[in-house]
C-alpha cells in the first residue's frame, strides 16, 4: 500500500514536470516569431537609426546625425509631423464621437435596428483598401460626385483634394466614415450597463440628457479609453488613404508621417534615416499612450 502511494506520487511529480515544460512547447512558435519578427527588428531599427545604410553597402555608424538631420535640415520632418498631428486630431475624435452617437441610437430594441447596424458597420470592413481610396477620389475630385450634388444646391465647386486647407480634412473623412468597428465596441459596452441604473434615474426624474452625462457616459469611459488608445496608435500610422488619394499633396498638405517614412525607406533607400524616423514615431505614439494611461484615473470610471 505504502509502495503504491509512492509510485503515484512519483508519477504525479513527473506529470507536473512534463506539464511545466509542455506549456512552453506549445507557445514556442510564438516565442520564435516574437524574437525573429518583433524583438529583433525592434532592436535592429534602434541600432540602424545611428547608421547610414542604403542596402547597397553595409551600414556605417554615424552617431546622432540622422536625428540631427531631421530636426535641423529636413523641412519635410516638421511638415509631416504637423500634418499627422492634425490628422489624428480630426480623425480620432471625429470617429469616436460618431461611433458613440450612432451606438446610442442603434441600442434601442425596435424592429429593423439590425439593418442599421449592418449598414453602419459595412464601410469599416474595407479598411485601408485601394478601392476605397479610389472611391474617395471619384467622390471628391473637382468634377466628382460631391461637387455635382452641391451644384444642385447652387454651391460653388469646392476643391476638396486640391486645396491645401481642405485636403487633409477630406482624407480624414475616410477614417471617420469607417467608424463601424468602434461603434460595435461601444454597443457591447452599452449592453453591460445594468438596466436598474436607468430605471433608478428615471424614478428620480432625471432628464435623458442628465441620464446620458451622469449614467451612460461615466460607465462607458473604460470603453472610450480602450477605443481612444487603439485608434490613436492606428491613426499615427495611417498610410494608404493619403498615398493613393493625394500622394501626400497638394504641397505636402496630406503628407502623413507614414508616407514620409515610406519614401525615405523604400524610395530613397535611406534605411538608417528611416529607422530614426520610425523611432521618433514610436516615441510619440508611446508618449500619447502613456499620457492617456496616466490621465485615466481622472476620467475613467472603474467599477469595484
Partner 1 sequence: MKRLNRNLLTYFVLSVLSIFMVYPLIWLLFSSFKPNTEIFASIKLIPSTFIWDSYVRGWQGSGQFTFRVFFLNSFKMVIPTVLFTIISSSVVAYGFARFSFPLKKILFTLMLSTLMLPHAVIIVPKYIIFRNLGWLNSYLPFIVPAALATHPFFIFMLVQFFRGIPRELDDSATIDGCNSFGVLVRILLPLSKPALFSAGIFQFIWTWNDFLNVLIYINSVSKYTLQLALRMSIDIAANVEWNLIMAMSILTIIPPTMIFFFAQKHFVEGVATTGIKG
Q: Which of 86, 184, 211, 217 binds partner 1 (CB under 8 A)?
A: 184
Contact call for residue 138 and partner 1 (CB under 8 A)? yes
Report the site for partner 1 in 88-117 (rule: CB under 8 A).
95, 102, 105-106, 108, 110, 112, 116-117
User: Cβ(37)–Cβ(247) under 8 Å?
Assistant: no
- Residue (38 or 295) nearer to partner 1, CB: 38
Considering the complex, what minimum distance in angstroms separates the CB of residue 192 from partner 1?
10
- The phi and psi torsions of 110 (rounded to 5 degrees) equal -130, 165
Q: Which is nearer to partner 1, 102 or 168 (CB)?
A: 102
258 binds partner 1 (CB under 8 A): yes
From 5-13, 74-82, 141-149, 295-303, give the range in contact with partner 1 by CB under 8 A: 141-149
Written as one string, the DSSP assignment of the chain is -HHHHHHHHHHHHHHHHHHHHHHHHHHHHHHHHHIIIIIHHHHHHHHHTTEE--SSS--EE-TTHHHHHHHHT-THHHHHHHHHHHHHHHHHHHHHHHHHHHHHHTTS--TTHHHHHHHHHGGGGGTT-HHHHHHHHHHHSTTSHHHHHHHHTTPPP--TTT-TTTHHHHHHHHHHHT-HHHHHHHHHHHHHS-HHHHHHHHHTT--HHHHIIIIIHHHHHHHHHHHHHHHHHHHTT--HHHHHHTTT-STTTT--HHHHHHIIIIIS--HHHHHHHHHHHHHHHHHHHHHHHHHHHHH-----
Smallest gap from Cβ 283 to partner 1, in A, equals 9
Regarding 211 and contact with partner 1 (CB under 8 A), the answer is no
CA dihedral 270, 85, 284, 271 (to 10 degrees): -10
Name the segment binding partner 1 (CB under 8 A); options: 5-13, 80-88, 160-168, 236-244.
236-244
Segment near partner 1 (CB under 8 A); pick from 13-21, 63-71, 154-162, 295-303: 13-21
Among 85, 177, 198, 212, binds partner 1 (CB under 8 A): 177
Q: Which is nearer to partner 1, 3 or 249 (CB)?
A: 249
Name the minimum Å distance from CB 126 to partner 1. 6
Q: Which is nearer to partner 1, 2 or 176 (CB)?
A: 176
Query: Which residue number, 253 or 285, has a Cβ lying nearer to partner 1?
Result: 285
Q: Which of 65, 69, 85, 128 binds partner 1 (CB under 8 A)?
A: 128
Residues 46-65 that bind partner 1 (CB under 8 A): 48, 55
Q: Tell me the C-alpha to C-alpha distance, in Å, between residue 37 and each of 29, 132, 277.
A: 12, 30, 19
| 219 vs 25: CA distance, rounded Å | 41
Can residue 72 be called a binding residue for partner 1 (CB under 8 A)? Answer: no
Stretch of residues binding partner 1 (CB under 8 A), selected from 159-167, 199-207, 211-219, 279-287: 279-287
Binding to partner 1 by residue 135, rule CB under 8 A? yes
**Minimum distance of partner 1 from residue 239's CB (angstroms):** 5
9, 10, 12, 40: which one contacts partner 1 (CB under 8 A)?
A: 40
Amino acid at each position: 500500500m505504502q509502495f503504491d502511494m509512492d509510485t503515484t506520487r512519483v508519477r504525479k511529480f513527473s506529470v507536473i514536470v512534463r506539464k511545466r515544460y509542455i506549456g512552453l512547447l506549445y507557445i514556442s512558435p510564438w516565442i520564435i516569431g516574437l524574437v525573429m519578427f518583433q524583438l529583433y527588428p525592434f532592436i535592429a531599427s534602434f541600432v540602424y537609426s545611428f547608421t547610414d545604410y542604403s542596402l547597397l553597402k553595409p551600414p556605417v555608424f554615424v552617431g546622432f546625425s540622422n536625428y540631427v538631420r531631421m530636426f535641423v535640415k529636413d523641412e519635410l520632418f516638421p511638415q509631416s509631423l504637423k500634418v499627422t498631428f492634425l490628422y489624428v486630431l480630426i480623425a480620432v475624435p471625429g470617429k469616436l464621437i460618431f461611433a458613440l452617437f450612432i451606438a446610442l441610437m442603434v441600442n434601442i430594441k425596435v424592429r429593423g435596428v439590425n439593418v442599421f447596424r449592418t449598414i453602419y458597420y459595412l464601410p469599416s470592413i474595407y479598411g485601408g483598401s485601394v478601392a476605397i481610396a479610389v472611391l474617395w477620389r471619384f467622390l471628391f475630385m473637382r468634377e466628382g460626385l460631391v461637387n455635382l450634388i452641391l451644384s444642385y444646391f447652387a454651391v460653388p465647386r469646392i476643391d476638396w483634394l486640391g486645396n491645401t486647407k481642405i485636403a487633409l480634412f477630406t482624407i480624414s473623412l475616410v477614417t471617420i466614415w469607417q467608424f463601424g468597428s468602434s461603434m460595435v465596441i461601444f454597443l457591447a459596452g452599452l449592453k453591460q450597463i445594468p438596466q436598474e441604473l436607468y430605471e433608478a434615474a428615471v424614478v428620480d426624474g432625471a432628464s435623458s440628457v442628465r441620464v446620458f452625462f451622469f449614467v451612460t457616459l461615466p460607465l462607458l469611459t473604460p470603453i472610450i479609453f480602450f477605443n481612444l488608445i487603439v485608434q490613436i496608435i492606428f491613426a499615427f500610422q495611417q498610410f494608404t488613404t493619403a498615398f493613393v488619394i493625394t500622394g501626400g499633396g497638394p504641397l505636402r498638405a496630406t503628407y502623413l508621417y507614414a508616407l514620409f517614412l515610406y519614401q525615405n525607406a523604400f524610395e530613397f533607400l535611406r534605411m538608417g534615416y528611416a529607422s530614426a524616423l520610425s523611432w521618433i514615431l514610436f516615441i510619440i505614439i508611446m508618449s500619447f499612450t502613456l499620457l492617456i494611461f496616466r490621465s485615466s484615473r481622472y476620467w475613467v470610471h472603474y467599477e469595484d
